[in-house]
Amino acid sequence: MTINELKIACYLYERFTGFDIDYINLIQVGNLDLTRANHINSLIKWLRKWGCRQFKVENTNMSIRNLQQWYLENLSRLPELQINLHSCTDEYIINFVQLFNSLANTKISERNNNNKLISVSVGAVGAAKILFALRPNVFSPWDKPIYKHLKYHSTGESYVSYLINNKKLIIDLQTECEQNGFEITDLPQRINRPISTFPKIIDEFNWVNITRNCSTSEMINLILNKRVLNP
């Protein structure tokens, strides 16, 4: 992952997602407090827009009640808002295993299976997206194609490993930024994604390259080859 690859990926991400309007609507709410009705309703609306079909409209009250209970029980485990992923130690990140698992296993709705109601939990994808929404500077969203392609699993242990790897990617990007004469804090603006945190920028890269199967490295090679052939 290089700065040039990120530029291409983030450009494509904006176009594929309608300029990320659903995320813009969410962050306009402010720092999420799930005890507040408008905050948790905005979160659930965004989750549905981001493909989390387990948040069924007919089970909205259940979703709100159980999410709020999880939030109150785990608020002290969440990192402070100002903390960034690349400033966390690996040992600190490992502590998020139980946080992730407890959220992933939270009952969020029900489905009918042969006239029997089956509990539906938040799941691995929903948990990552909720944690990201709550603490976007530390947690990164993911989807099933991403974590399967990268050989992870739907567990807290795998998600924590993913975060540690993302931390390393951010540190590598920091080195590249410094080599190019600017700070990593300037990177989102330079790649035209000022609303995106570093964990989200990595997700945008993965979503374009893996979920949408658009290889940014191949695009760069095509551009470079065209320049060589047509100087």
- pTM value? 0.94
Q: Write out pLDDT tens, residues 16-53.
A: 999 899 999 999 999 999 999 999 999 999 999 999 99
Cβ-based neighbours of 143, under 8 Å, separated by 6 or more: 51, 125, 207, 211
**Strand-pair partners of 113:** 116
Cβ-based neighbours of 53, under 8 Å, separated by 6 or more: none
**pLDDT value for 228:** 41
**pLDDT value for 230:** 54
Q: Residue 172 and residue 77: Cα distance in Å, rounded?
A: 28
Query: Chain-centre distance of CA 124, in angstroms?
Result: 12
**pLDDT value for 115:** 86
The SS3 of residue 120 is strand
> How many structural domains are present in the chain?
1
Q: Tell me, what amino acid is at 195?
A: I
pLDDT means per 10 residues, the chain with 231 residues, are 95 93 96 98 97 96 98 97 96 98 97 91 98 98 97 98 98 97 96 96 97 94 65 51
Cα separations (Å) of 52 from 13, 43, 55, 124, 198?
19, 11, 6, 11, 22
**pLDDT value for 225:** 75
Q: Tell me, what amino acid is at 187?
A: L
**pLDDT value for 26:** 97
**pLDDT value for 221:** 87
Query: Chain-centre distance of CA 122, in angstroms?
Result: 15
Domain limits for position 95: 3-229
* Residue corresponding to tokens 């994808």: 125
